[in-house]
A and B are shown apart, each in its own frame.
Chain A
Amino acid sequence: MPHDHHDHDHLSPSGHPFREDNDTPLSYWQCMEIAVRELMIEKGEVTAAEVADQIGAMDSRSPANGAAVVARAWTDPAFKARLLEDASAASKEMGFDIGPLNLIAVENTADTHNLIVCTLCSCYPRNLLGLPPDWYKTREYRSRAVREPRAVLREFGVDLPDDVTVRVHDSTADMRYVVLPARPDGTDGMEEAALAELVTRDSMIGTGLPKSPA
């Protein structure tokens, strides 16, 4: 379906520009995607419905899933202990299936800040946060996060005091991380659902901090 190019400012509901796709010239790799998909279907390997369902599942995963897990950990100490012990199992307990990947939650505290990267490629806790942002997959982020994390964090607007230890976790296909951010001040007595609203995607990657209560 072609996009409407005349009725708005070319931003999607999520605030990002739409990717040019259906109405631009067919690229070699788009042609390959169609061919591979149709061959898979013809050979009885997959059905068109399975491909569509997979995309539906992908679209349903967003940082809101991770935020719900974080808010639960902020309000339920027993859950937090389980999350830090086995993040895959604790997430599953809340209905978020992590699949076969091994997920580790790392906790930010007053004296330690955690940052996640995949220097080799793009491994990311996608079952909990959705697909990774573009910058997560760039040469710049992957190269520098492990060498000068404080400088990288400053580019994200996070300026940590020198006495805060920064721990950088390099993900692999078999081991992925999610940051459990520190609960912001001034949130005593807040409900779990309201707390989840404060948890941003970047705060769970470590490149940001949770929002402060309004």
Chain B
Amino acid sequence: MSDISETARRWHDMGGDPAGEINFDEHDFALWEKRVDALMILGSARGHFTVDGLRRALEDMGPEAFETMSYYERWIASVNQNLIEAGVYSLEELAAKMEEVQARGDTYGAAQDV
């Protein structure tokens, strides 16, 4: 039994919760996932956010995000939010760019600007 009230714990603080057997499936990271990781490190090196800023955005996504989004999907969402908050680009610029990317093609490979 924990002395800490359940309301004091946020969803990501899952140590000690009941859970099922461990799934041992592993995969090699896709290029887009490695790029998310690289953008996280480079954006941080540029001083636009700290690991705490990234974690705050991740934790604010709530438990649904943990079930419905993959690891690097959550991370790109957090990196993006932090970059907008830091003023690196605006929400409007992001929307316009995503539209442009989408128009290039319907696979990850085809949507690159080459």
Residue positions of A touching B, CB distance < 8 A: 1-2, 12, 14, 16-27, 29-40, 43, 45-46, 50-51, 54-55, 58-59, 117, 119-122, 131, 133-135, 137-147, 152, 155-156, 170, 173
CB neighbours (8 Å) of A131 from chain B are 29, 37
Residues 86-113 of chain B: 1 if any A CB is under 8 Å from the residue's CB, otherwise 0?
A: 0011000110011011100111111111
Residue positions of B touching A, CB distance < 8 A: 12-39, 41-43, 46, 48, 51-52, 55, 58, 66, 69-73, 76-77, 79-80, 83, 88-89, 93-94, 97-98, 100-102, 105-113
In the complex, are the beta carbons of A34 and B111 less than 8 A apart? yes
CB neighbours (8 Å) of A54 from chain B are 37-38, 41-42
In the complex, are the beta carbons of A23 and B107 less than 8 A apart? yes
New A-B pairs, 8, CB < 8 Å, besides A14-B28, A30-B32, A40-B39: A12-B28, A19-B28, A29-B77, A35-B94, A39-B94, A40-B88, A58-B34, A140-B21
Q: How far is the CB of A125 from chain B (nearest CB, A)?
A: 15
Q: Given contacts A32-B76, A131-B29, are A38 and B101 in contact (CB under 8 A)?
A: yes
